[in-house]
Structure 1
Amino acid sequence: MGDTSLQQQQPCIQPPPGPWKYTLLTEPALSSTLAQKSAASIVDDTHHVSFQPCSDPAEASQDRFSVQNWEISGGVWRFRAVFDGHGGHEAVDYTLQHLPALIERNLRAFLEHKGQGLPGSPSSYAPGDISKLITDSISSFDDGMTAALFDLFPGNAVRDLSDEVIDDIIHDPANYPTVIRCMRGTTVLISLTNPLNKDLWVASLGDCRAVLATRLKGGQWVGKELSYNHNGSDPSEVRKLIQEHPREPFVIEDDRVLGSIAVTRAIGDHVFKVPRIYTERVFLKCRPGFKTTIKKVESIVPRILTPPYVSNAAETTHFTLDDSQDNDPIRHKLDMVLFLFSDGLYDLYEMESGSAAVGMQGYWSYVLRNALSRPGENLALNLLRHGLGGNNEDKVSQMLMGESSYRWMDDTTILAQHL
């Protein structure tokens, strides 16, 4: 779920099983309304939607995405990203504004230093170099947020200053954005392809997902997951946290870090990254502050013993798209489409099937066949439509046109890029 931080723990809920108010739409109004409400569009080679049907401004989507092409040394690198914000908009907006630009600057400097000749020439860099560049850029970006917070309270100031002085520092208009974005958080999912389109890098921090759809010679579409969830229900993430924080019984409770936040890797969420005195003396004094009760936050503070608990280390993986020296039948392709999506899409299939595993595995071939077999249509919109109920106009209308001041589904963003 996107809203996984301590600031906003209300789960994503499906509309109640009994009667509730919604407007029943039929075609073509249903399709056109869904396209409008999901801001469906096509930019370059990428189809995208971003959807939150609740009309209450307080429930506005905290998902963001980026589609950028960077011309470097005569070739075009294609950058795509999905950011699933939680607890507020400040961290995800800041990330959207600054992280892609940082990665571009670092990539440009790296390639120019390497003296790249032909665009995307494999002789000028190793795939692992680009993986490291992306991972390091994400970590340094989040570390910069931490450093900016610490700079507001140099030395022992956060311990020694009076409450009144700390309050003045926090609410100085020049300082407030630094504090509030550290209190919010966002996941990160990035894809990057080089100019010759032979290499793909996927970087994940949190629980957005990347799936590569490939059409084989027989016409069948198959899906291969390229990223994995970083959350408190993943055994490897749990083992890592327990090893890093021995003798802390609440490091994972109810599949959540410190019993509070679902994701184990994210930008922001500095309550789980810095000494607890910053939560006690800074974050809890910020106005407006957390999206939950002070009591809820105060209950977590005693558990903050040896931070950080939430990591900013992305998992970045390189994939070869060139099939000339590979016998893997998946890469003997006719077409390839990369899907990047926030976990709201995963939730839709879980609600549809009653099981997340069945939702994404049992439906995947059918979903791809339907989403990708209509030339000229928005692939991301087709995938969203199927998750909402497909051809069932009543069900799609319920999800699209529900009348409630509370969200009944998670923010859902999908990018579909033709490779």
Structure 2
Amino acid sequence: MFSSHASGHPDPNLEDLARSFIRKSTFSNARMTNETSTVYAQFRGTPNEDRFTVSEDWELSDHVWQFIAVFDGHGGSTTADYLAKHFTSHLRRSMELSFSYSPESTPSPNPPELLSTARSRSNDTPVILFTNKNISEFLKRQVRAFDEDLGKAVKEICPNPESLSDKEAHALYEAHKMVIARARCGSTMAGILLDKTERRMWVCCVGDSSVVLSTKSPISDRRKAVLLNQHHTAQSPQEYHRVTMAHPSHERDKIWLDGEERIFGTLSMTRAFGDFMYKFPTSFTATLFSKFPSTAMRSVNRVLSYNRTPPYVISDPFVTFVDLTAFSEDEDPAVIIYSDGLEALASRLSIAAMSKGISDVSGSSGAVPTAVDIIGALLGQPLDLAALPSSLTDIFPNNNAAFNLISNLLDKAIPKKLRAHLESMGNDDGNDDEELYIDDVTVIVFQLFTAP
């Protein structure tokens, strides 16, 4: 869309298309703190169910911390929205309770082994060491606890759903819509917890959103990338086996209908926040969850038909530790956090690479590039805005690697569809045409070193 028209003649619609693209986008200018840089960008699909958070830095026991995450909602945006607004504060409060210590303070409510070993900085002032294992275990507990609270809130207002009449159920739903919606809808999370003081990072993910580490070769300037998390979908043999073995053998054909890699033929994620239709008995779905006007209503009937021994979905996260001190400034290390909409675009290019030539897609040679390879290779590539009128260049963000990555992938992977989508949208953000549907794409790029 941003490149010159194939005929070589000016495109009279290019200005309108560019303005429509910007109206559907959210982005930031580079935000620099403690020599690091963070930018975000989002192309809002129809409907937009992605959310994200880039927290302010906070201090705890002489360390500076930051949490950054993308939340990809499904069945509605309610759970993702709630996570974006509240998960960081939950994490920060829990860290302060678990790891803060002073001689005058009361004992930590957590077991002693969960606190890291103290060392003395002066006579009586202990300093808590945030060990890799302790923070990893802490993150796992907090994800599970946050998700459990979503379900507990429903049980508190409705401990016995099977005893309610339809009129009572409707009244309860009307009085507690948001509580019910947060448990009914679902969301993935791809997040990083940063200890900026010691340049350490914990990756914490639930579902199929991604965290990728991209580095540059100081010799060739080419970038390579590695996926840092595992995806929680039935496409993962480990996840497929885990879900299958957690239920009686006679249920197998009911869990994976017709061999589909979706639970009950509806949900691709095997781990997520929310989605309590798949975690609670069917009485909650019949009485409460079915009343929520979701974007995935087909799943209600499937859950009522096949949910026999819940839970089928859990919230246990994937957590891993990365020592950022291992990377030099010459490698320009960048962490890319994104929803699966970006990977879908890169996958299209990966498939195209087989017929078009690998160098045309990623600038690499050898094996066919994966979606992650393509995302890593395109990071840092500028937009080609030469075809745009000079009056438009000012409305595009400066120095935003996340925006450039989204724009380049959309333009390379689905140029005709993107153009048709923008032409059909005009000033209206609602479009039900499946052929023009584009998934939400949200990207955050964290760079350990800022440009001089």
Give TM-score, length-normalised by structure 1. Answer: 0.80
Structure of larger gyration radius: 2
Which secondary structure state, in structure 1, belongs to the residue aligned with residue 231 of structure 2? Answer: coil
Match of 2:78 among 90, 101, 118: 90
AA partner of residue 226 (structure 2): K
**How far is 1:272 from its partner?**
0.1
**How far is 1:414 from its partner?**
0.4
**How far is 1:177 from its partner?**
1.4
Matches of residues 295-310 of structure 1 in structure 2 within 5 Å? Answer: 297-310=300-313
1:412 equivalenced with 2:404 (yes/no): no
**How far is 1:257 from its partner?**
1.1
Pair 383,176 (structure 1): closer, same or farther in 2 beyond 3 Å:
same
**How far is 1:394 from its partner?**
6.4
Matches of residues 272-287 of structure 1 in structure 2 within 5 Å? Answer: 272-284=278-290, 286=291
Gaps of 5+ in 1: 1-22, 54-58, 324-329
**What is residue 151 of structure 2 aligned with on the other side?**
146
AA partner of residue 322 (structure 1): T
**What is residue 230 of structure 1 aligned with on the other side?**
232
**How far is 1:69 from its partner?**
2.6
Which secondary structure state, in structure 2, belongs to the residue aligned with residue 69 of structure 1? Answer: coil
**How far is 1:93 from its partner?**
1.3
Would the aligned equivalents of 2:232 and 2:239 in 1 still touch at CA under 8 Å?
yes
1:347 equivalenced with 2:344 (yes/no): yes
Distance in 2 between residues matched to 1:123 and 1:36, nearest whole Å: 47
Distance in 1 between residues matched to 2:178 and 2:336, nearest whole Å: 33
**Identity over aligned residues, as a percent?**
25
1:291 equivalenced with 2:295 (yes/no): yes
Matches of residues 11-410 of structure 1 in structure 2 within 5 Å? Answer: 25-26=13-14, 34-42=21-29, 43-44=31-32, 45-52=37-44, 59-73=46-60, 74-113=62-101, 124-154=129-159, 157-172=160-175, 175-218=176-219, 219-247=221-249, 248-249=251-252, 250-253=254-257, 254-284=260-290, 286=291, 288-293=292-297, 297-323=300-326, 333-354=330-351, 358=369, 360-361=371-372, 363-364=374-375, 366-368=377-379, 370=381, 377-390=399-412, 397-398=419-420, 400-403=422-425, 404-406=431-433, 408-410=437-439
Provide, for residues 77-101 of structure 1, a one-character-per-residue CA deviation record: whole Å limited to 9, x for no partner: 1211000011112111111111111
Pair 331,245 (structure 1): closer, same or farther in 2 beyond 3 Å:
farther
**How far is 1:162 from its partner?**
2.7
Would the aligned equivalents of 1:180 and 1:289 in 2 still touch at CA under 8 Å?
no
Would the aligned equivalents of 2:382 and 2:404 in 1 still touch at CA under 8 Å?
yes
Would the aligned equivalents of 2:50 and 2:73 in 1 still touch at CA under 8 Å?
yes
AA partner of residue 92 (structure 1): A
Which secondary structure state, in structure 2, belongs to the residue aligned with residue 316 of structure 1? Answer: strand
Distance in 2 between residues matched to 1:245 and 1:217, nearest whole Å: 51
Number of aligned positions between the proteins: 376
Distance in 2 between residues matched to 1:233 and 1:410, nearest whole Å: 20
**How far is 1:376 from its partner?**
5.8
Distance in 2 between residues matched to 1:367 and 1:125, nearest whole Å: 35
Distance in 2 between residues matched to 1:355 and 1:84, nearest whole Å: 26
Would the aligned equivalents of 2:337 and 2:443 in 1 still touch at CA under 8 Å?
yes
Would the aligned equivalents of 2:225 and 2:377 in 1 still touch at CA under 8 Å?
no
Distance in 2 between residues matched to 1:276 and 1:395, nearest whole Å: 40
Pair 304,36 (structure 1): closer, same or farther in 2 beyond 3 Å:
same
**How far is 1:122 from its partner?**
9.7
Which secondary structure state, in structure 2, belongs to the residue aligned with residue 103 of structure 1? Answer: helix
Distance in 1 between residues matched to 2:416 and 2:52, nearest whole Å: 30
Distance in 2 between residues matched to 1:271 and 1:395, nearest whole Å: 34
Provide, for residues 320-344 of structure 1, a one-character-per-residue CA deviation record: whole Å limited to 9, x for no partner: 1122xxxxxx768531110000000
Which secondary structure state, in structure 2, belongs to the residue aligned with residue 309 of structure 1? Answer: coil
**How far is 1:195 from its partner?**
2.6
AA partner of residue 44 (structure 2): Q
Pair 24,141 (structure 1): closer, same or farther in 2 beyond 3 Å:
farther
Provide, for residues 41-65 of structure 1, a one-character-per-residue CA deviation record: whole Å limited to 9, x for no partner: 1333211111125xxxxx3311011
Pair 417,365 (structure 1): closer, same or farther in 2 beyond 3 Å:
closer
Which secondary structure state, in structure 1, belongs to the residue aligned with residue 70 of structure 2? Answer: strand
Distance in 2 between residues matched to 1:225 and 1:256, nearest whole Å: 23
Distance in 1 between residues matched to 2:41 and 2:237, nearest whole Å: 32
**How far is 1:237 from its partner?**
0.4
Would the aligned equivalents of 1:389 and 1:395 in 2 still touch at CA under 8 Å?
no
**How far is 1:363 from its partner?**
2.7
Would the aligned equivalents of 1:131 and 1:316 in 2 still touch at CA under 8 Å?
yes
Distance in 2 between residues matched to 1:408 and 1:271, nearest whole Å: 26
**How far is 1:176 from its partner?**
2.0
**What is residue 13 of structure 1 aligned with on the other side?**
none
Distance in 1 between residues matched to 2:341 and 2:414, nearest whole Å: 20
Moved more, 358-367 or 408-417: 358-367
Provide, for residues 380-401 of structure 1, a one-character-per-residue CA deviation record: whole Å limited to 9, x for no partner: 1111122112599767534544
Which secondary structure state, in structure 1, belongs to the residue aligned with residue 333 of structure 2? Answer: strand
Would the aligned equivalents of 1:72 and 1:108 in 2 still touch at CA under 8 Å?
no
Which secondary structure state, in structure 2, belongs to the residue aligned with residue 272 of structure 1? Answer: coil
Pair 244,405 (structure 1): closer, same or farther in 2 beyond 3 Å:
closer
**How far is 1:159 from its partner?**
2.4
AA partner of residue 343 (structure 1): D
Moved more, 193-202 or 99-108: 193-202
Distance in 1 between residues matched to 2:414 and 2:289, nearest whole Å: 46
